[in-house]
Amino acid sequence: MKHFVWTAPLALLTVLSLAGCGSAAGHTTNKNRTLNVTLASEPATADPNKDTDTNSASVIYQTMEGLYTYNKANKIVAGVATKVVTPTNHGKTYTFTLKQNAKWANGQRVTAQDFVTSLQRMADPKTKAQYASVLSAFKNYAAVQKGTLPASKLGVKALSTTKLQFQLSKAVPYFNDLVASKYYPLNTAAVKKYGQKYGTSAAKSVGNGPYKLVGWTGSNATWHYVKNPHYWNAKEVQIKRVKVAVTKDVNTAANLFKSDKVQETTVTGEYVRANSKDASLHTHLTGRLNYLYVNSRKTATNSENLRQAISAVIDRQQLTNKVLQDGSKPALSAVPQGDQANPKTGQDMAKEVGNLLPHDVAQAKTYWAKYLKETGKTKVTLNLLTDDTDDDKKVGTYLQSEMEKNLKGLTVTTTAIPHAQHVARDFAGTFELNLTGWSTNWLDASDYLNLAAKGNTVNFTNWNDSTYNQLLATADGQTGLARYKSLMKADKYLMSVKGYLPLYQPSEAKLISSKVGGLHYSLLNEAQYQYAYWK
């Protein structure tokens, strides 16, 4: 999930601005040239109600727009709404006015009802939206999810064609981030026409953003973003066509870039280290943590001793410095660097909590012995599930080596599969060990901590701890410094029992052509191609 509130601890993570100056004449020289970019793996859907993976989020980010959006500096500004509004009713009521000229790519007007259609559909359990919990603050959400109230009772209402109102059950500190990144409209007519198949291909999707999705069949590896002539700010979109190609191998990506067949691509590890002085190479930390999940649904892996042994055997510093070599940082706890600041001191939570994930082989062996005793086994074989990307396969190999080398009697097999298939297995719980990750949409520790909460649809491990759940519930009812301290307490508890195992905070390295300007990245956001231009 992709991902605004900038605070002092984020100084080292300032927005990477790659815009060139260039004259107006220079901007029009190549105005009809296609911008060629890559994506690390296949998207699973173009349906904003159902996306949970970063690749789907990338497609939606370029082709959809919510009430709010992000400007060139990655600050929240009005999108479909006429302005960023101030809530009333103690932060629980938001009333928006929609732009008169906000339109879908098919020329139809974006209406308040389109937002109602989307959010009610997302909350409806029949939709099986796996990240419906982003609506949890809306009035009646819990009852709608349980089926005791119809989706029509969700706290969202079209007051007129252009007037929209949200009713929340409580104030949410990061609500504007959700409005910008998760609460997209859906074309009501298209949803009625395609039903559950909406978003399964470009032909069954309708966007309202700067680009429309063209040529994606739901399984192919190349497609286009084509300028949406009906977009309200279309006159500012300079590049008319963007071609996207799924490119999993870093050497292939680099070679495509060197031959100018792509102008923006992601590179990793060895390439980044070998080309650190390349002027085309730009890196930035992301609002993401990558994890090793241990499945609590499986008898063989439902063990705190196993989780403790695996966590302690991993040298996260070695993993980032020697294996990844791309600027990624070792995880210190369940909260990444730059995610949340102490409201009183401004200190970064990750640094205030400190390193709760030390490398200690002796301790790992002690926990491993306890695990073998509790299971009555001397030899154990566990499978590690990963994406089939270059990075994931390297990390998987490293984890396999460290576990087998230090935990006597353990054999680790690895299974690398395409991202969309991996996501499906995440939700199905068909794994023992799982190398996965989470990208947030807002800078607040609760998003990462809730990944281990009871009942969360993205709690892939199915781990459940009453003490931890109570800590989260306490934080949920607080504000300000009290809430911050409760979240920090939950973080410390989660790491003490290793509910899940954070590994590292990824850094993203991009090769960007000197011919292209206007590509801006932040802790949470990819570049928006609507701001790109040919120099």
Provide the phi-psi class of 376: left if phi over 0, else alpha when psi is between -120 and 50, else beta: left
Torsions phi, psi for 327 (to 5 deg): 95, -5
Residue 19: per-residue pLDDT: 36
Please state whether 431 falls in left (phi above 0), alpha (psi between -120 and 50) or beta: beta
Rounded Cα gap, residues 18 and 387, in angstroms: 30
- DSSP line for 270-329: HHHHHTTT-TTEEEEE-SEEEEEEE-TTSTTT--HHHHHHHHHH--HHHIIIIII-SS-E
At 16 the pLDDT is: 33
pTM of the full predicted structure? Answer: 0.79
pLDDT by 10s per residue, the chain, length 535: 333 232 333 333 333 333 333 333 344 456 789 999 999 999 999 999 999 888 999 999 999 999 999 999 999 999 999 999 999 999 999 999 999 999 999 999 999 999 999 999 999 999 999 889 999 999 999 999 999 999 999 999 999 999 999 999 999 989 999 999 999 999 999 999 999 999 999 999 999 999 999 999 999 999 999 999 999 999 999 999 999 999 999 999 999 999 999 999 999 877 888 898 999 999 999 999 999 999 999 999 999 999 999 999 999 999 999 999 888 999 999 999 999 999 999 999 999 999 999 999 999 999 999 999 999 999 999 999 999 988 899 999 999 999 999 999 999 999 999 988 999 999 999 999 999 999 998 889 999 999 999 988 889 999 999 999 999 999 988 989 999 999 999 999 999 999 999 999 999 999 999 999 999 998 889 999 999 999 9
pLDDT of residue 441: 82
pLDDT of 22: 38
* pLDDT at residue 29 in the model: 53
Cα–Cα distances in angstroms (integers) from residue 5 to residues 8, 86, 444, 518, in the given order: 10, 16, 9, 21
What pLDDT, on a 0 to 100 scale, did the predictor assign at position 99?
98
